[in-house]
Chain A
């Protein structure tokens, strides 16, 4: 897996900033202590659910905005160019325990946040006039950041999980233009699919 772009890494560093940040993030041993910088909200799960619902409600619009902005052949070949063919996407098991589901959610949100950062960066250059798409991407990224923080808070406060090993999608900075567009479209197709599952699971 390739190193993430410069725009995504600082974000994750901020979210995970602790002693030893930058190193792989394994699941915290059971006896390790986990301290959050700020006290967590009492209705954290409710907030997480609301954020998932909010993301789910806007995912399709984001997907449509994206493939429309790319131009042909994307709108007319969605199944081939924008199918959710993301091989290394973190798994999610809706029947697991809450802790397991939260850990998987954390991995997925981290993956999506990084990928969305790549897409946002690419689209600024590939489609600089698609202001609506940029705004939607930024808004989604903001919500993902908040969701990631809340999940982290929940994991830390209730399950004392301070670190979760996460994986990120491929970096698109060295890809050709068509590949960037296609990978972004596939990722957003996957995002639309996964976020619906997550909103239902929580």
Chain B
């Protein structure tokens, strides 16, 4: 096929933005509106200069106009392409260079949208091809194509003329749609991100209200003709590999069920591969890798592919993967020039790589890593490397790791077999060694290959650090030995046991040996006398350590050393001491980590002979805990003697509790506070003193106190006691009878104790003693009077308030005396004419009363009294009542309640002719007498009784305390004694009367009240 040229002359379209052709030689882009010439489907977009029309002149001076004939146009709907095929008749030569001009019109022939010149070499009977890609789907409009040609040889430039145009070829893809529902084109279109897309809505009807939406966004519309609407999407963006739905509707309110839609597939832009690199591990295969960037494939159109092209060999290989590819190394090839071609539907990109194979060697991982001649401190590592033929010298790197970190790193040059000698290792230690290698011309290290190994054990290198605690009792010495376990670097293996040898200094022949199995960290010895030398060694599987020697002195030689206080710092507890007069080979400071009272976890620290101070720190130190330290000097004879005692806190705290305070000596103006049982030594800090707070309503503080503000912002008075041993305090100069609140809180260097709770106290009242002097005698006097009254109560009663007042003793009488005669004031019985009788209705329950029992007031209230008026009155004419009373008008008010009357036996009914009877008291008595005599104990309960109520007290009326045998018991609840209706002359009681009354009282003793 001859050389082809394209020359686009006219580019016209109603959608001008989309009718363009462009491209590039490197990473070229394929866009709609481009043309393809020839039979190949390769994209050959080339830019050529336009040439003017010239007449074709044959080589032989004969002007020939070759007219393209048999123009055939086919459609590729999915690709929106028109394929043109034509042939040239009447060629003047077997092979002739020709130019063709192609015109494409849309909708109508006069609307030319594309004119392109296409040059190629034509042979006899050759069918020529040319392809044009439309930006508008071909179904959207009718297209027309025509072509003309001319000879294009340079030697005949003067004679070149265009042939006549071929006939217009109509391309009507719409006619294939039929009379169905509306359509959208293109269908399932693949576009590149950032490009423009033209969509058309084709309907058989004239629809002018069509709208299309992509993700809910309306797309700008353009009316192409009466039944075709065009929508243009600009700068489309990638949304999903599975495409985006595009939907069109004519009228949103009309549902036809035939609304068309399509899916738009937007592909990302193909990127240039990054990090393109090739290497070999075996000189047989090259492994090339790269970073492809974004994946441009979409689900329906996977088109992203890669290929390797090697220019020296001219070989090309399509890669199956998007990020790596292999290439077989040729035996005789050292230099390689690769081109990696990335390609998808829209673009093509490539990168180059030129290299020498020997410089791209990535050795395989070393293997067979072993250790030989492993001793306590040395080992030899050996390994093998895969052979690379002629390239068999490697640079290797070895690393030794111990306790999780690299402790040695070396480079070693090796052949296929390599080795390295490690020295300076620690005995009985586990190590990890590894090796990696690179080719002599370094490209990449291989992966690491490693192996673990352990060195052999050796005897412990250091004597154990030993200390002791000595308690001597009655000639024997109890020694507790403590030792610290050797560190791993000192033990040189697992310590199996400790040997303790004791030797009596006084009797050298007396020595003992003890073996203490590990992991014990001490032992207790009972020695015969304290003067002993003790030697301790630690042993492992390889031998024993050097001896640790100490001498226990027979004479403790520890004078009482005064304890000094020391302070804790952030670093620990700091202390110092004076060096002793004699020689020392060192010092030991010991202390108990735990609370001494509970368990002394003895700790010690060895110091050199020149040390005079140290800072002791321990993870076990806790704030607020007091620690006691002892400092020993070690003599050249290995004897330890106490030099100093120190006590202190790693960190002092404020007291957590306040002392319990007692109050004493409370006076008008003072009181004493005491907290003598407060233990100053067991506090979380050294007690520096106490602070006394005093709170009262008074604004002024007592002398010695100053104003202070408590944490709760309340104001009070305070007084500081600087002597921690002073545990009493007298608060003076107080106001009598005042209320005070007080608080005693200790102080340490860290602060004072809590500001609560306050105690309460009230000073004595100033006049309290005077009041007591008055009140006490008065109380005594009142008490005496009460007792006296009680003893003489009977007399008092009779004197002050008798049960029945004696009319003769009445004060009324005394008032009348000066004016009138006594006879006029005191009514005589015989002067009394009964005017009415009281009839008492006794309820049945009364009869059931136990003899001698007293009836309550309430019960007596139940007794019903009726009055029968004995004198003819209007009221009495209504009929006789159930009882008869002689109403004493004088005492009418004193006896308002008939219930206080005692029971009197009475006939059931009033006797006949009662009215006559009542005219004379004697008749009345007589008429009543039989009833009294016959009815004792027989009167039924509830029966009406008859009482005579006299206004005259009986001369013999006894007191209620009087024995019943001596006196007549009368109605108990009445201030009047029950009386019999007797003649006026018989007002005094008679024995008979007594009897009858006695029998009456027996009848119902409950009615009598004492």
Contact = CB atoms under 8 A, between A and B. Distances in A.
Interface of A: 70-74, 76-77, 79-81, 83, 85, 125-128, 176-178, 181-182, 186
B213 A85 contact: no
A72 B257 contact: no
Given A176-B188, A177-B263, A178-B261, A71 B255 contact: no
Nearest to A176: B187
Contact of B188 (A74, A79, A85, A177): A177
Nearest to A85: B257
B247 A73 contact: yes
B216 interface: yes
A176 B255 contact: no
A72 B259 contact: no
A151 B243 CA distance: 41
A52 B906 CA distance: 106
B216 A73 contact: yes
Is the interface on chain B under 10, 10 to 19, 20 to 34, or 35 or more residues? 20 to 34
A186 B243 CA distance: 20
Contacts of A128: 242, 299
Interface string B245-272: 1110100000111011111000000000
Interface of B: 187-188, 213, 215-216, 242-247, 249, 255-257, 259-263, 299-300
Nearest to A84: B257
B300 A177 contact: yes
Contacts of B255: 79-80, 83
Nearest to A70: B245
B257 A77 contact: no
Nearest to A180: B263
A182 B261 contact: yes
Contacts of B216: 72-73, 76
B299 A125 contact: yes
A77 B249 CA distance: 10
Q: Which 4 A-B pairs have the closest CB atoms?
A: A85-B257, A177-B263, A178-B261, A73-B247
A83 B258 CA distance: 10
A108 B261 CA distance: 28
Given A83-B255, A125-B299, A74 B187 contact: no
B245 A74 contact: yes
17 contacts: A71-B244, A71-B245, A72-B213, A72-B247, A73-B216, A80-B256, A83-B255, A83-B257, A85-B257, A125-B299, A126-B299, A177-B263, A178-B188, A178-B261, A178-B263, A181-B263, A182-B261
Contact of B247 (A77, A85, A176): A77
A17 B245 CA distance: 41
B245 A178 contact: yes
Contacts of A81: 247, 259, 261
From B188, B247, B249, B299, name the one whose CB has the most chain A CB atoms within 10 angstroms: B247
A181 B262 CA distance: 10
Contacts of B256: 80
Given A81-B259, A178-B187, 18 more contacts: A71-B244, A72-B215, A72-B216, A73-B261, A77-B247, A79-B255, A80-B255, A83-B255, A83-B257, A126-B242, A128-B242, A176-B188, A176-B262, A177-B300, A178-B245, A178-B246, A178-B260, A182-B261
Nearest to B263: A177
Contacts of B243: 177
Contacts of B259: 77, 80-81
A160 B971 CA distance: 121
B197 to A, nearest CB: 15
A15 B300 CA distance: 34
Contacts of B262: 176-178
A181 B243 CA distance: 12
Contacts of B188: 176-178
From A72, A73, A182, A186, name the one whose CB has the most chain B CB atoms within 10 angstroms: A73
A80 B215 contact: no
Contacts of B242: 126-128
A178 to B, nearest CB: 4
Nearest to A74: B245
A176 B245 contact: no
A69 B249 CA distance: 21
A176 B257 contact: no
Nearest to A130: B242
A181 B245 contact: yes
A72 B243 CA distance: 12
Nearest to B213: A73
Contacts of A76: 216
A73 B263 contact: no
A18 B259 CA distance: 43
A28 B257 CA distance: 37
B510 to A, nearest CB: 89
Nearest to A82: B257
A80 B211 CA distance: 14
Nearest to A178: B261
Contact of A80 (B213, B249, B299): B249
